[in-house]
Structure 1
């Protein structure tokens, strides 16, 4: 049942700052659906509205929503992909404009252009849906569970599978242009995949054998490849989406091999860090922020000097988002608001079963999909800069 708009506005915040290492001692502001509103001394955000999307199963344990919401600017709607296998287009205050049934849960969110929304499904199909109606325009059957947000170029849609294949599909027709595949290593790997990063006619993408590869978008030819894996051991995956800076450097991390800065053109290694467990990266203002299992670090991009490091007392979620002068970090049990200058957690919020998917920020609003399948529209009030 939808909650009336008169009861939907809720204000959240945290009274005291705390280091992430002591995060378990920080009071967490809870779910506005079940908690009484509270007025904290610092108003980092307010909840404009929320709406339930997924009906929980009777015996469901620890629900998880991995797909970042997308935003359809042309129709002013939010696109959600949820664990019940549904794609939804939601308008003002969460009213549903259309839905499309896939049937399988999603590992990653959709990507929207002017008229189409590209949906990567674990049923092995890449769908192109009309943003206004939800009707399919074309489908590409990859035959492998798709696990990354589709990346658009002028002519292609790039999406990677859980089985170490990067597919390049023609945007106009849904036909395969080319694919690049690597054999996964023996033993255990991390259940994630690297989202490709594109600049010009080049793509950079990681694989579970610990390799970072630079590909020519024309035909998928290899420009260079570099192993970031340690000489022995398991969990060598490069599951981070490579990030680029304006100086022509590319940053990526192997789960057990550490963080690397490389020359984007040649693949030459510029510096490394031995930090393990990194799964997500963000680069901004000459600083590389690394998030992973039980860690949140910041490095000087030019030299790799560690600026600060704070251990998380819980398993980290997906990619951090920088907005209004704060880092928003999903850590599965809550969404942390972190000061990027110091790494201090300024507040934490659990909208119900925590948050795993990155928020989608549009202007001063952030759309957050909680693990219990609620979508929240937050109005951000943090500092700028």
Structure 2
């Protein structure tokens, strides 16, 4: 079986797999919308749209800010550059004119180009100033994670377990690292991170891998969890989270695995804690913030892994990855609510309803103090907080 768990159905499918013929009492129940007395109300600066969004499909097309522009994309192949000040379209490219595009692999920039991947295994490079398609490269396997750039390379992680580096200017392949993909995995892939010439990423077989970015030489792999249980679903281990680096320590988390702190130099674990997640983690420098596979929000001390607080009020609401905006932990849910959480206490500070299509990705913070969000139906909004 290929990667087939969609994020919207993940909790329900897993519940069914664990119980066989589930009774009504066994069903996963989404927590109600919390009753939050908001301490502030975000105000809209502007709004626009991009294509039809991602709808209910698994496409992590989070907006990207670079070169004084905001880049957004839709699953049906529309890529736009927007002016951060007023949201006006600077350029628009339709990659779906000649192909069944199905964009899904996030947005990245480098060498004044914009990169985005697709479920059909195509990586596109566009001119950041004009939107002109510079090149496209056919890569075996779905591109579900955002590319990453390092030096003159753009590097993608595919559903077939391959990490592939290409020249940014030409799209020519430079090297490939292959890792094992089990028969059953989550639908999604870890977006790599680079630091000091190294590249780090999670694998579908429950490991964190490290390589030299310039040559593709594998340095080490570290297990993030051990398969347990009687069924294939019980024993599923996948590291879809993007690694997080603070100084000389790397943090990552696996589904049915653990939250692990790893020394970058040796690749050896510093500590491990029993949390399971398939989403990215966030930090304020001293704390690590995670959303568990049950949609519990947790903060742990970055040095020791000690749990600081846990908020379970969003249980099974299909919550996005956490992000830090204005010193708040922010997540969105499947019904279109954004939640603002005190990063020190885990208590709700504000709640914002956007629209019923919900969120596939978290908002992004902008340099002017505002933040940008995109909903599953393609609505794009810039907002600010006036406290």
Q: Same fold (TM over 0.5)?
A: yes
Report the alpha carbon displacement of residue 25 of structure 1 after superposing the two structures with TM: 4.5
- Partners in 2 of 1:325 and 1:215 — Cα distance? 33
Residue of structure 2 in register with 1:372 after alignment: 377
Contact 1:336 1:347 in 2 (8 A): yes
Report the alpha carbon displacement of residue 218 of structure 1 after superposing the two structures with TM: 2.5
Answer yes or no: is 1:339 the counterpart of 2:342.
yes
Contact 1:104 1:122 in 2 (8 A): yes
- Partners in 1 of 2:212 and 2:162 — Cα distance? 15
Residue of structure 1 in register with 2:315 after alignment: 313
Report the alpha carbon displacement of residue 285 of structure 1 after superposing the two structures with TM: 2.1
User: CA offsets per residue over residues 53-97 of structure 1, 9 Å max, x none?
Assistant: 3358xxx98577631111243xx4321111222112233533332
- Partners in 2 of 1:310 and 1:360 — Cα distance? 22
Q: In structure 2, which of residues 356, 361, 365 is the aligned counterpart of residue 357 of structure 1?
A: 361
Structure 2 unmatched runs, 5+: 1-29, 229-233
Counterpart mapping for 1:98-177 below 5 A: 98-102=92-96, 103-113=100-110, 115-177=112-174
What TM-score, normalized to structure 1?
Answer: 0.82
Residue of structure 1 in register with 2:296 after alignment: 295
Answer yes or no: is 1:68 the counterpart of 2:62.
yes
Answer yes or no: is 1:26 the counterpart of 2:27.
no
Structure 1 unmatched runs, 5+: 1-21, 29-39
Residue of structure 2 in register with 1:234 after alignment: 235
Report the alpha carbon displacement of residue 222 of structure 1 after superposing the two structures with TM: 1.4
Contact 1:253 1:278 in 2 (8 A): yes
Contact 2:106 2:116 in 1 (8 A): yes
Report the alpha carbon displacement of residue 231 of structure 1 after superposing the two structures with TM: 3.6
- Partners in 2 of 1:23 and 1:327 — Cα distance? 19
Contact 1:63 1:372 in 2 (8 A): no
Answer yes or no: is 1:348 the counterpart of 2:355.
no
- Partners in 2 of 1:107 and 1:180 — Cα distance? 21
Match of 2:47, SS state, is strand
- Partners in 2 of 1:321 and 1:61 — Cα distance? 22
Report the alpha carbon displacement of residue 376 of structure 1 after superposing the two structures with TM: 0.5
Counterpart mapping for 1:85-104 below 5 A: 85-91=77-83, 93-96=86-89, 97-102=91-96, 103-104=100-101
What TM-score, normalized to structure 2?
Answer: 0.82
Count matched residues: 344
Q: In structure 1, which of residues 179, 182, 185 is the aligned counterpart of residue 179 of structure 2?
A: 182
Report the alpha carbon displacement of residue 250 of structure 1 after superposing the two structures with TM: 0.9
- Partners in 2 of 1:95 and 1:52 — Cα distance? 11
